[in-house]
Structure 1
Amino acid sequence: MSVPHRPTRRTLVSGLSGLALAPLLAACSGGDDSLARQAGNAGGKNYIAGDGSVMEIAREDRGEPVEFSSTLFDGTPVSGQSLRGAPALLNFWYAACAPCRVEAPHLVALHEQFHPQGVQFLGVNVRDTATTAQAFERTFGIPYPSVEDVRGDVLLSMTDYVPPQAVPSTLVLDAEGRVSARVLGAVEEGTLRALLTTVVAETQA
């Protein structure tokens, strides 16, 4: 899977709830991508301090559907294929990650709004045991499941979009399983709402 050679990257109009998005990032391996540089030299930090930068890819410029295979903490298998047919959100996280704790209430609120519209939410936990992950989910009332990805298989399958160690990160997938948008760092609720609204509208069109 690879990002199209010249994806059209669109900022959301600033009039949407007064949002002011950070400049769009270059490709993950780009020379000026600070997150990519941090991922290569984390300096002992427990997480990469993402800046909330957003990349949105026009429908006609999206790449191939994402491919991965993993299991939920209860052993249920899940894959990229199983998410297709409806929009989806993938959130990479772990319990000790401070920005993950900041964004958790926003993800819960967005799930409440968009799950009834058919959007599938899936966490990808990159570090924790089931006990630790489930304690986090209880604390923040996380209503959707997470896959166990301690070995990093799911994260590595997404390196065209998410720099290794850049956690939290969030991907929005369209109904075909293609990446529609990416947020590096803790999500801002209004921004992610707009990105999800886009893929829901495409599905309903």
Structure 2
Amino acid sequence: MSRPLSRRTLLLAAGGAAAGALVGCSTGGNDTVSSTGEYEFTEPTPAATVVAEDQRSPAPAFSGELLDGTPFESSSLAGDVAVINFWGSWCVPCRVETPEFQAVHADVADRGVQFLGIDVKDQRQMAVAFVERLGVAYPSVFDPRGEVAMAFRGFPANVVPSTILLDRDGRVAAVYTGQVRGEDLRAAVELLLAEDRA
């Protein structure tokens, strides 16, 4: 008759399984190109950095409706560096991050950089009040069901705020999970603006 496993043994086994699952989700490095050539999230990008150009893959197309009811197509981002920020009016870190994003936006908007918010798990009236209160000048897609996040394969849609940067060729150049400092965002945007287009 076998002896029952101790609580410590069970905890160690569970911890090992969890660690194995985490390792299994990552392909290593900053590889974001799947076997089909489409973008697939593997891990966050270190702050204030971007993925090497030869490791980038095209962002998926997506569409939606802006907070003011205007239709939006991701094709309108083409040719510019794009900062896509997932946020919610209920998100405490978003209240800190959003004014810093607005400050960077004000400085770089005339240099070929577009900012787009993606408002998730929210109510439209709360989201509109949020952007008005913080003086946000860039548009936001109203996405209460998180459909835009699902278009980015493997993207951790439950992590809010999160930010995706696209280069001028529409490729995913960085994915930041959690709050991003304004100075780190500015540094990453400057790296993308400095890149030569082929």
8 A contact 1:65–1:80 mirrored in 2:
no
1:180 matched to 2:173:
yes
What code does the residue aligned with 2:158 have? Q
What code does the residue aligned with 1:115 have? A
The equivalent residue for 1:189 is 182
Q: State the SS of the aligned residue for 2:195.
A: helix
Tell me which stretches of 4 or more aligned residues in structure 1 moved more than 4 Å.
Answer: 5-9
CA distance in 2, matches of 1:94, 1:80: 20
CA distance in 1, matches of 2:139, 2:146: 17
The equivalent residue for 1:144 is 138
Output one character per residue of 1:91-125: Cα deviation in whole Å (capped at 9) or x when no partner: 00000100000101110110011111110000000
The structure richer in helix per residue is 2
Gap regions ≥5 residues in structure 2: 1-26, 32-40
Q: How does 1:72-83 map to 2 (within 5 A)?
A: 72-83=66-77
CA distance in 2, matches of 1:191, 1:86: 19
Correspondent of 2:65 among 71, 78, 86: 71
Q: State the SS of the aligned residue for 1:132.
A: helix
The equivalent residue for 1:131 is 125
Q: How does 1:82-93 map to 2 (within 5 A)?
A: 82-93=76-87
Q: How does 1:27-176 map to 2 (within 5 A)?
A: 27-28=42-43, 53-54=46-47, 56-160=50-154, 162-176=155-169
What code does the residue aligned with 1:182 have? V
Task: Using the TM superposition, give the Cα deviation of residue 128 of structure 1 relative to its aligned residue in structure 2, in angstroms.
Answer: 2.0
After superposition, the CA RMSD in angstroms is 2.5
Which entry has the higher C-alpha Rg, 1 or 2? 2
What code does the residue aligned with 2:149 have? L
CA distance in 2, matches of 1:92, 1:103: 11
Deviates more, 1:58-67 or 1:93-102: 58-67
CA distance in 2, matches of 1:117, 1:108: 15
The equivalent residue for 1:12 is none
The equivalent residue for 1:38 is none
8 A contact 2:162–2:175 mirrored in 1:
yes
* Normalised TM-score (structure 1): 0.72
Output one character per residue of 1:165-198: Cα deviation in whole Å (capped at 9) or x when no partner: 1110011110111111121111111111111001
Count of aligned pairs between the two proteins: 163
